[in-house]
Chains A and B, each alone.
Chain A
Amino acid sequence: MKILEAINISKSFKKPIEFQALKDVSFSIEKGEFVSIMGKSGCGKSTLLYILSTMDTDYEGKLYLDEQLITGQTSNQLARIRNEKIGFVFQFHYLLAEFTVLENVMLPAKKLGIKSLEEIEADAMHKLTLLGIQDQALKISSRISGGQKQRVAIARALINNPSIIMGDEPTGNLDSKNADTVFDIFKELSEEEHLSLLVVTHDQDFAKRTDRIIHMEDGRIKL
């Protein structure tokens, strides 16, 4: 089953000069697949990721998520889709500094508003346990280490049981030990929970260990 399918995605920037960042990019991701996107900086890989993430709506082509057409939906609908089906892990953790770890993880689920507060809390504790940081749950999120923060960010991405996790250099800011931990977590999620993952990375070692590498060059996928 195709979780994510991109058909002929093109995008061009008008500023500062007319520049075509993506040229007819098409590919798909299967359920449970762990895919990495590699390429030199400026090749359009991040641009592609943000289009796939539904945050960037200014493009041509068609995008399907869970076999549902995403292209052309309103920003409120897209926010709902992101909330429900996509989990993000960025290079920077983006935790809310004043909140506890647990509250940070619970936030997207509270927004979704399907489960009761107790259920969400239990879920969040479960995800934190999965990532081995349950003992940090009640700390203020600015008081934990960088590697732990990134793991909290992953737990937050997982809280609504999304269809796909997207990562933009999720290990970019971490030392090799923490980067390994994060990779192992991703690998485990993909193999055991059959979660699809799409990760943009510069890290050769990281990419080599994924199921599939998409190489990009000058706005195209290099086969």
Chain B
Amino acid sequence: MIAALGVTFGIGTYIIMMGFMNGLNGLLDGLILNRTPHIHLYNEVEPTRFQPIDMWQGGKNTIKVVGSIKPKSNQTRIHNALPLIDYLNKQNYVRGATPQVKAQAFYLAGSTQLNGVLIGVDIMKEAELYNLNDYITEGQALDLAKNENGIIIGAGVAKKIAMMVGDIVQVSSAKGEIMPLKIVGLYQSGLSDIDNVQSYINMKAAQRLMGEKDNFITDINIKLYALERAPKLAEEMADLFDVAAVSVQSANAQFETGSTVRTLISYAVSITLLIVAGFGIYNILNMLIYEKMNDIAILKATGFSGKDVKIIFISQAIIIGLIGGILGLLLGYGVCVIIDNTPFVTPALPTIKTFPVVYAPKYYIIGIVFAMLSTFFAGYLPARRAERIDPVDIIRGQ
């Protein structure tokens, strides 16, 4: 019974560790990934890679040098953006492609002008793909969709210009166009650099502010079904559409590394836990055999073969593994529920109220399978010893 408790604690802590650590991991991943498109298409300002002199076929043994290359003046809008989005949305690996109009602007508050970025979006699609609602602390995405001249303003901006939901904020474009917008919501991403600058408005409003037509689109954000395919697809899209394409992996390389390291740590910890639990079981079964020496001797004397004794001990180990494992899953689940309901308030993550916990069936399956396997192996060695015990030694030793 005590042996079963050993398994229970081992498996229980494993479930808690995996649930909690992956919950936190998911939270941190979500912090970046929820808002980051998997592939971001835009027009980069850069010098042309292919210079006219490269077309010259003559002078094979000469080195061509072009000095002082300047970036090509390029329009910020993506050429043929609307058909391109249609095409992307039809691809089966794309979960959604959304257009954005990024506008440099100033928030006007009396005599001060605050630098800012207005992002014109299709707010409902954006909310669906990038969980935008999680970061809107007041109001909701729908309010912006309903009000053509609405703005969901960055929380930092709102604080600086001392405005709240319901107020009208004046924004001016880089070209001097001024436009009043009604604040319908507050946006807080948790990254103050963004909250101090960025606001969401409707795409039409952004196009109007820029003085452009409705095919003016500066960025396309793509969310894929499989995050891992992003780098390769980004390369393909860059070639195909002649735009700059950045995958989430290259945009957030440091985040990728962090995520990998965290996963590694959680695996290392859980493997350690499981190994410790395994040794505990081994020890307990070993002790059990010393305790049951007499019983083993009499079983053998009355005609049980070594094999029978081995089977008895292995089945005992497996029963311990099964009972302990199931109790461990329950314990792990119970503690996970408690953690899940523990308040966890952080200004960076306005929508998170309690600690995040993952209840993936995967961990529960791994837990029970490991409990069974480890008790089997931990039971096998002692059982083999029991098989070989010579009853004469025991009985004569008394």
Contacts and interface: CB of A to CB of B under 8 A. Distances in A.
B302 interface: yes
A26 interface: no
A111 B305 CA distance: 10
Main secondary structure of the interface of B (DSSP, over half): helix
A94 B294 contact: yes
B92 interface: no
A76 B297 contact: no
A88 to B, nearest CB: 5
A177 B281 CA distance: 46
Nearest to B396: A46
Interface string A126-151: 00000000000000000000000000
A156 B398 contact: no
Contacts of B304: 79, 83, 111
Contacts of A8: none
A156 B250 CA distance: 77
Contacts of A83: 302-304
A55 interface: yes
A79 B299 CA distance: 10
Contact of B303 (A46, A80, A95): A80
Interface residues of B, number: 20
Contacts, number: 61
Nearest to B309: A79
B303 A76 contact: no
A88 B398 contact: no
A218 to B, nearest CB: 19
A180 interface: no
A57 to B, nearest CB: 10
Interface residues of A, number: 27
B395 interface: yes
A91 B300 CA distance: 17
A168 interface: yes
A90 interface: yes
A176 B104 CA distance: 109
A95 B398 CA distance: 14
B301 interface: yes
Contacts of B398: 90-92
A79 B305 contact: yes
A168 B302 contact: no
A112 B305 CA distance: 11
Contacts of A79: 300, 303-306, 308
B392 A75 contact: no
A96 interface: yes
Q: Which 8 interchain pairs have the tightest Cβ spacing? A: A83-B303, A94-B298, A79-B305, A108-B302, A82-B303, A76-B305, A50-B392, A55-B392
Interface of A: 46, 50, 53, 55-56, 75-76, 79-84, 88, 90-92, 94-97, 107-108, 111-112, 156, 168
Interface of B: 294-295, 297-308, 390-392, 395-396, 398
Given A75-B306, A108-B303, 5 more contacts: A50-B392, A50-B395, A55-B390, A79-B305, A112-B303
